[in-house]
A and B are shown apart, each in its own frame.
Chain A
Amino acid sequence: MKLFLIALSVGLGYSQVSWERLKNAQKEPQNWLTYSGSSLGQRHSELASIHPGNVKDLELKWVFQAASFEKFEATPLVVDGILYTVQAPNDIVALDAATGRVFWTYSYAPSKESRVCCGRVNRGLAILGDVLFMGTIDARLVAVDAKSGKSIWSTAVARPEAGYSLTHAPLIVKDKVLVGVAGGEYGIRGYIVAYDAKTGKEAWRFNTIPGPGEAGNETWAGDSWKTGGGSIWVTGSYDSDTNLTYWGVGNPGPDWNGDGRAGDNLYSDCVVALDADTGKLKWHYQFTPHDELDYDSVQVPVLGDIEVKGRARKVLMWANRNGLYYVLDRKTGEFLTGKPFTKVTWMEGFESAGRPRKVASAAPSREGTVVYPGVQGGTNWYSPSFSPKTGLFYIPAWDNSFSTFVKSPDTYKEGQRFIGGYPRSSFGLNRGLQANTRKPEDGHGAVMAVDAATGEKKWQLDFIDVTDSGILTTTTNLLFTGNREEHFYALDAKTGDVLWRTSLGGAMANGPITYAVNGQQYVAIAAGNGLFVFGLRR
């Protein structure tokens, strides 16, 4: 049946994934059509075959071993029985989603000029029609035929030699492919750019660091905006009701020395809401003004409709690297909730309109300053999940973690690191390559469930080591996640109770997904260098 459908779609020149399908992705839970499962960013599925009563019967169905030693950060797409993923840095692999057999591999060798701060990684793909889109670490956007794996077009988004790269999965809105540039440790000036999906021609561009004449440029001293960072490295969201696309923006540059960039440094560490047709800024909210702690706001913007203070609201939910959970009105940007989910020492409360009262002494210094959360944040880019079923927001967290932030002078030179200091990790020096000898006082990983409206903590599952794994929830109140302890979990989303776990022998640094083929539900996560796919014993 599946093969027949594939043959049929090729034979008739059928454009497989229309914008209508993408816009309503949550209505076809057998597929996983975008990075977060739908443009709402919830990483929540309506598939119900696997539930708390049978999750203990999960078994390994197949494994894909990547021919890559890079970290496996990609979330796969699943389209009508075909699974597409990225073998880091930038090979695309198409597999039979039921068996793991490979259809084709698209090989891409990034330019030697590419330079990335934090690993030659890629977080995934987008699809529109029969075309897959991928950003590359040498800052190109490539369009590849989903049936043959052959290149259709490729365009230079930015100059890799200047430290620009693309690491996140693109976002499709209507007929456009949206991407943003990474490189916040290289003194880049960030932007989000939309390309015509058919031609690769630029449609609009939004500068995350405004230049002269653009609103917000006044928040940068002198010429500091020119190297202001504001990178984009996690996929944004889209709301068809407002026609706004929401993106989290990275740290200002240089990371740990703000002396040369007095001011709030907009739109670093912001969520920006852009008109999806024009790229014009509708509103923004800055989580961490004048950041010197590398608190990138590059988390997935999660959209949902919930009740806040007795009133039904269309909101944007956000667990930020700075250690606070936020709720904003997604039409207006109005600040509704801001509450720490872990120990936070860089701020103490809010002024009006949600502006944080920063603690002046919690800034990098020559001697080093201890600040909570540490450089990796209370959370980071790891996908959170929102379950409309439980009303809870789930955070992959680093609880009670700190760093000692050291400030040093830095001078911008194109293509070289421009960071202005360094953080010292909180954990001790006895750590082996795969071993964990972390002390309790060094902080630890956790899965946290907070009330989506108030940020009030409902439950927490603690690990000894930290976690880089995203979270998936399902309508049957299951929660799937992994960690650096190499365990893959199914939890009860209401209580945090462990219902099932298995050791995958490698850390997980990507978000789990679920999909179905021929009525069988699967759950997939990458661990180490392999993609592991589970399903119920039959």
Chain B
Amino acid sequence: MVHIKPIVLLLAIVGIASAQDHSYTQGDLEEGAKQYRKNCIGCHGGEGASVTGIDLGRGKFKIATSDEDLVRIIQNGVPGTGMPATAMGPYRAAMIVAYLRNMNSNRERKSVASAVGDVGRGKTLFENQGKCSGCHRIRGVGGRSGPDLSEIGHVLRAIEIESAIVDPDAQYPFGTRPVRVERKEGPGFTGSLLNQDRYSVQLLDQEGQLRSLDRSEVKSVTAVPTWMPSYSGKFNAQELADLIAYVGSLRGAQ
């Protein structure tokens, strides 16, 4: 039988991940996180647990059991509930599923912060005592040697923000990879590695400059420890909670 409706093709159920890899790629997760922030976070929350009876990060669903079910639900919604159908193609829907399946990966870590933080106090800590603005930019204000935090509340969950503050060496999907690039001639650069191939290296240096270097002029590229200091022991439990509350409140243009 020959079908001639290309639109049907777009609505068909998609598999997850790329060729024969059964794990999700980091690209999948990042695209999924973007789409989650755009489409889902309003109801399901940053932790994925804001709807009663559903905890997306822990695989607790009312109807879905498989990835395919989830893709279907994201596309078609659940009639009679608050879950609407979306115009989302299978690719994007599958990336959201990839993100959901990995949301919980850092949840086992035990928090040391107090339960309730104050956003206002946290902002003061961020800008003054913590000197965070020296490296982190928020909506156009602050340094560039650390990741821009303008939308970090959409990206990391509270437990991940805490981990990033007290244990900045830990790897996060949206972190940076600090490197030192030595050139054959002239001064080298320290910065965040953005991309690389056999012929070139791209980074954002600590001065805030985007640099693309030909490997023929590069002597070495080495991973270096993050220059973000650990704030473990520098803040008490309440201060930490305040800081996390503030950072978690950063969700893009207000």
Complex contacts, B202 vs chain A, CB 8 Å: 435
Is B55 interfacial (CB-CB < 8 Å)? no
Contact with A along B13-27 (1 / 0, CB 8 A): 111111111110111
B1-54 residues with Cβ-Cβ distance < 8 A to A are 1-6, 8-9, 11-23, 25-27, 30-31
Contact (Cβ within 8 A) B6 A430 = no
Q: Which one, A107, A415, A434, contacts B3 given CB within 8 A?
A: A107
Contact with B along A116-132 (1 / 0, CB 8 A): 11111100000000000
Q: Which one, B9, B18, B172, B196, contacts A437 given CB within 8 A?
A: B196
A462–B198 Cα distance when bound, in Å, is 8
Contact (Cβ within 8 A) B14 A437 = no
Q: How far is the CB of B20 from chain A (nearest CB, A)?
A: 5
Is A14 interfacial (CB-CB < 8 Å)? no
Contact with A along B156-181 (1 / 0, CB 8 A): 00000000000000011101110000
Contact (Cβ within 8 A) B198 A430 = no
Contact A118/B18 with A423-B23, A465-B197 known, Cβ cut-off 8 Å: yes
Q: Which one, B8, B18, B27, contacts A431 given CB within 8 A?
A: B27
Q: Binding site of A, secondary structure by majority: helix, strand, loop or mixed? A: loop
A124–B4 Cα distance when bound, in Å, is 20
Contact A417/B171 with A109-B9, A119-B15 known, Cβ cut-off 8 Å: no
Contact (Cβ within 8 A) B173 A433 = no
Is B66 interfacial (CB-CB < 8 Å)? yes
Is B182 interfacial (CB-CB < 8 Å)? no
Contact (Cβ within 8 A) A108 B3 = yes
Contact (Cβ within 8 A) A430 B21 = no
Chain B interface size band reads 35 or more
Chain A interface size band reads 35 or more
Complex contacts, A423 vs chain B, CB 8 Å: 22-23
Contact (Cβ within 8 A) A375 B21 = yes
What are 14 A-B pairs at a CB distance below 8 A?
A69-B91, A71-B19, A109-B5, A116-B14, A118-B21, A380-B19, A381-B19, A416-B65, A416-B66, A425-B23, A430-B173, A430-B175, A462-B198, A487-B197
Apart from A112-B11, A119-B19, A487-B197, 12 more pairs, CB < 8 Å: A71-B18, A110-B12, A111-B12, A120-B12, A154-B1, A296-B20, A424-B23, A430-B177, A431-B26, A435-B195, A437-B194, A463-B198
Is B141 interfacial (CB-CB < 8 Å)? no
Complex contacts, A107 vs chain B, CB 8 Å: 2-4, 6
A434–B202 Cα distance when bound, in Å, is 12
Complex contacts, B198 vs chain A, CB 8 Å: 462-464, 485, 487
* CB closest chain-B residue, reference A432: B30
Is A269 interfacial (CB-CB < 8 Å)? no
Is B148 interfacial (CB-CB < 8 Å)? no
4 tightest A-B CB contacts, nearest first: A431-B26, A109-B3, A485-B197, A435-B195
Contact (Cβ within 8 A) A109 B6 = yes
